[in-house]
Chain A
């Protein structure tokens, strides 16, 4: 037996067959012609074979669909490709006011042979506006049928069934399916078989021919079929018999084709990838309740993705989207004797868990180990839970990093103290105090994982306030500068320094070592050497009026690489040569870029060098961080023409170095002397 086709190849072949059989078939869409052949390569080869009927269109879903309607009115067959189903909303007017109405509003039935293909679904990291499952928005429109690509159905049959209706249809294609292979020969794997049911073979039933126990039925559209099958396999390992039922046509929902399977089934779960609320699953449940109430042993349960946007970051996307494990949890949970009423009421994802935690949370607190925030420094009363690094419901190992917490100075990672399943009780972005519990690690298998909390639950719960919250990274700096302003009586002195020699020195060092050195490192080195001569400028003034001298100069440096302003520290800077200093500066900046600066990198500063060297900046007054006495600003250098002692005109490179100092500890004369000494130290 040859290997089954991948779904994109399979659908491509079905389109080729359609065009070969129908001389009046058109295909319209964005970038559908060769060599590109569509964003997902589904139309490859079609424009080469049928150049007059396969047309790349301008970026106008509305226009494309309108043209399709016009062609259909003339009796032609039209396939429309919407590049990403997320944008089919732009064609909504054509669909509800033109294509579907045309079927019935001209006094006689008018066939409208249009299929609008919509790639949908997440799992590929495409983010909030290229990953959605928009099927639910098109349910209930008269004369509009909805189909979904399935690995269990022949795509040519599905296209034929859609066109046979003489009404517009939409074909939703889960993007994850494109690269997966379809199932053939009525086999899913060695254990599971599948069959197509009904006169129109609309329903695919995946089942275990050898199973005797009453099955739990999982009804899923084609895009979720493989996840439902994966859940069925795992449930079988845990002793549960699960059948997966996949309709090719989602709407109008085919009740008759599935009624015979409901009798004797141990419950029905409808799994879909869309967000909860007004979904296809709701439609399925409504139809089944009406048609099969006496046959149902329990309420029908719905599982769907979390009610939030679909993130791009893979670990966050996994946390949001419906997964095989979500389906499995629902299957196993309902099989442990949970009463039907409570099962439906407290665990239905239609009611997001962060709004109705219910009894589940209380149980977890008893069974799990708390994830607590340790005390990370002596400065802060509270921190910000920056990010969960493991999705809710994931299994974690001892020592695995699970969350990032931001203090006023740095970002610290929290590691799991126990192995188990992670439950998240606090949303990313929220404040947390030292010692507080932000989640639990539950013993594996003891508890179905909660969905991730909403990104900003406090915003959801509270009346909207004007404006927007200060971002966490800026709140950290805001606290530092506000404290500085409150506590430090600052004075400021600036001098113009000839840095021509210092720049030349840096260039020579760079040429000798083959690695760049900048004025920044030369200044830091000079600041470090002046510690012995000017200890007061490196000292710390305590709250009770005592002065603590620094044993070594540890020079802080402002670092802002677009991830927020940080003040990492080069400890014992006097012991480092210029190359090591330059390495340290690069290392700290790279850490900032990658959000890897830790509390330890920020500790022990006794002098700050503030880089204000944005091109064109000639002068800046820095803020002194609390606990430090002086901050030196290093602006951009500029050219000046000067007269030297011999009366010669020379071009020099100049910089106006500014010293902000705590006037409680340092007076103007000391500051002036310090800057003069610094200027001299830079004449290398």
Chain B
């Protein structure tokens, strides 16, 4: 797991890095509410220089999904 992506998500969720892993998502983490979801997307777009479509935003359910999305874009985490 990319520590940079995990750090980024942990930053937005205001959680310690060790409480965030691939499975972390709205279903597992109370802090991951809809506003945080958008902020995570914005942070990923900014950090990796990618544009994420609304459909993709709705499909993201975990850090692993974010990682897959970046991989599809050919972005090196």
| A contact set with B: CB distance below 8 Å | 510, 514-518, 561-562, 579, 582-584, 586-587, 589-590, 593-594
Contact = CB atoms under 8 A, between A and B. Distances in A.
Contacts of A515: 55-56, 58-59
A583 B35 contact: no
Interface stretch (B3-11, B13-21, B38-46): B38-46
A586 B39 contact: no
Given A590-B42, A593-B42, A594-B42, A516 B35 contact: no
A583 B54 contact: yes
Which of A510, A561, A586, A594 has the largest count of B CB atoms less than 10 A from its CB?
A586
Nearest to A515: B58
Contacts of B61: 516
Per DSSP, chain A at the interface is helix
Interface in B22-69: 34-35, 38-39, 41-42, 53-59, 61
B55 A583 contact: yes
Contacts of B59: 514-516
Contacts of B56: 515
Given A516-B61, A590-B54, 4 more contacts: A516-B58, A561-B35, A561-B39, A562-B35
A518 B57 CA distance: 13
Nearest to A517: B58
Interface of B: 34-35, 38-39, 41-42, 53-59, 61
A594 B51 CA distance: 13
A587 B58 CA distance: 10
Per DSSP, chain B at the interface is helix
Which of B41, B53, B54 has the largest count of A CB atoms less than 10 A from its CB?
B54
Nearest to B39: A593
Contacts of A514: 59
Which of A515, A562, A594 has the largest count of B CB atoms less than 10 A from its CB?
A515
Contacts of B34: 518
Contacts of A582: 54, 58
Contacts of B35: 561-562
Contact of A561 (B38, B54, B55, B57): B38
B58 A589 contact: no
A280 B34 CA distance: 52
A562 B53 CA distance: 21
A590 B58 contact: no
23 contacts: A514-B59, A515-B55, A515-B58, A515-B59, A516-B58, A516-B61, A561-B35, A561-B38, A579-B55, A582-B58, A583-B53, A583-B54, A583-B55, A583-B58, A586-B38, A586-B58, A589-B38, A590-B41, A590-B42, A590-B54, A590-B57, A593-B38, A593-B42
B47 to A, nearest CB: 14
Nearest to A614: B33
A582 B54 CA distance: 8
Contacts of B41: 590
B9 to A, nearest CB: 16
B45 to A, nearest CB: 9
A593 B40 CA distance: 11
Contacts of A593: 38-39, 42
Nearest to A579: B55
